[in-house]
Amino acid sequence: MPTADAVPGTGADAGGTAGPVAAEDVLLFVNAAITATGQREFRSGAYQQRLSLDFLHEYVRVNYRRVYAASLALDINDHNAVLIVRGLLENASGVSAEERRTEGRLIAARLAMLPPQRVYRLFGALRRAEVNNRRTRAIMRDWLAARPDLVHDAVKYRGGLKTAARHIHLRCPEDGGAADEVGAFLFRPGRLPRYRHGLLDAWRRAHYEQGAVHELPFTVAEGFAARHGMKREAFLERMVPRMTRLERLRTQGRRSTGTAPRLPADVDLTVMPLTRLALYVLSLGFDVRAAHRAELTGALRAAARRAAGPDAGSWGRVAAVLDDSYSSSGSGQKRRRPLAVALACHFLLEALAAPGAYRPRWTSGGTDPLLVRPWGPTPLGLCVLDALEPGSGGAPDRLIIVSDGWDNAPPGLAGEVLRVWRTRLDPGRRTAALHMNPVYDADGFDVRRLAPSVPTAGIRDAEDLPALVEIAQFAEGRTGPAELYRYLDRRVAHFVDGGTRRDQDEEEVAR
Residue 282: which residues within 8 A CB-CB, separation 6 or more?
A: 336, 339, 340, 343, 372
> In the predicted model, is pLDDT for residue 287 greater than 50?
yes
CB 414 within 8 A of CB 454: no
pLDDT of the residue at 499 = 55
CA distance 172 to 178: 10
Percent of the chain exceeding pLDDT 70 equals: 88
DSSP category for residue 199: H
Average pLDDT over residues 61-84: 94
pLDDT of the residue at 128 = 95
Average pLDDT over residues 121-139: 94
Residue of 232 and 263 predicted with greater confidence = 232
Q: At 142, is the pLDDT very low, low, confident or very high (cuts 50, 70, 90)? A: very high
CA distance 161 to 186: 8
Neighbours of 348 (CB within 10 A): 30
Q: What is the CA radius of gyration of the chain?
A: 25
- In this predicted model, what pLDDT tens digit does every residue of 343-402 receive, in sequence order? 999 999 999 999 999 999 999 999 999 999 999 999 999 999 999 998 777 889 999 999
- In this predicted model, what pLDDT tens digit does every residue of 430-465 receive, in sequence order? 999 999 999 999 999 999 999 988 999 999 999 999
Q: At 307, is the pLDDT very low, low, confident or very high (cuts 50, 70, 90)? A: very high
DSSP category for residue 322: E
Phi and psi angles of residue 45, each rounded to the nearest 5 degrees, phi first = -85, 170
CA distance 242 to 266: 12
> In the predicted model, is pLDDT for residue 424 greater than 70?
yes
Q: At 470, is the pLDDT very low, low, confident or very high (cuts 50, 70, 90)? A: confident
> In the predicted model, is pLDDT for residue 335 greater than 60?
yes
Burial environment of residue 94 by CB neighbours within 10 A (0 to 12, 13 to 18, 19 or more) = exposed
Average pLDDT over residues 51-55: 96
Average pLDDT over residues 162-179: 74
pLDDT of the residue at 392 = 73
> In the predicted model, is pLDDT for residue 93 greater than 90?
no
pLDDT of the residue at 173 = 56
Relative to beta strand 456-458, strand 446-447 is unpaired
pLDDT of the residue at 1 = 42
Most confidently predicted of 15-29, 257-271, 405-419: 405-419
Neighbours of 199 (CB within 10 A): 18
Q: At 183, is the pLDDT very low, low, confident or very high (cuts 50, 70, 90)? A: confident
CB 361 within 8 A of CB 402: no
Average pLDDT over residues 165-194: 77
> In the predicted model, is pLDDT for residue 174 greater than 70?
no
pLDDT of the residue at 255 = 54
- In this predicted model, what pLDDT tens digit does every residue of 483-510 receive, in sequence order? 888 888 899 998 988 654 444 544 444 3
> In the predicted model, is pLDDT for residue 54 greater than 90?
yes
Of the listed ranges 162-176, 215-229, 275-289, the least confidently predicted one is 162-176
pLDDT of the residue at 154 = 94
Dihedral of the alpha carbons of 111, 117, 118, 121, in degrees to the nearest 10: 110
pLDDT of the residue at 261 = 53
pLDDT of the residue at 436 = 96
* Domain range summary for the chain, segments of one domain joined by +: 18-192, 206-259+266-273, 299-479
pLDDT of the residue at 181 = 85
Q: At 188, is the pLDDT very low, low, confident or very high (cuts 50, 70, 90)? A: confident
Q: At 475, is the pLDDT very low, low, confident or very high (cuts 50, 70, 90)? A: confident
Q: What does pTM read for this prediction?
A: 0.88
pLDDT of the residue at 6 = 44
CA distance 453 to 434: 10
pLDDT of the residue at 252 = 75
> In the predicted model, is pLDDT for residue 257 greater than 60?
no
Look up the CATH architecture of domain 299-479.
3-Layer(aba) Sandwich (3.40)
Average pLDDT, the chain: 87
- In this predicted model, what pLDDT tens digit does every residue of 3-44 receive, in sequence order? 433 443 333 333 333 466 778 888 899 999 999 999 999 999
pLDDT of the residue at 461 = 95
Q: Of 442, 438, 426, 439, give the one whose Cα is nearest residue 464.
A: 438
Helix (H) or strand (E) holding 399: strand 398-402
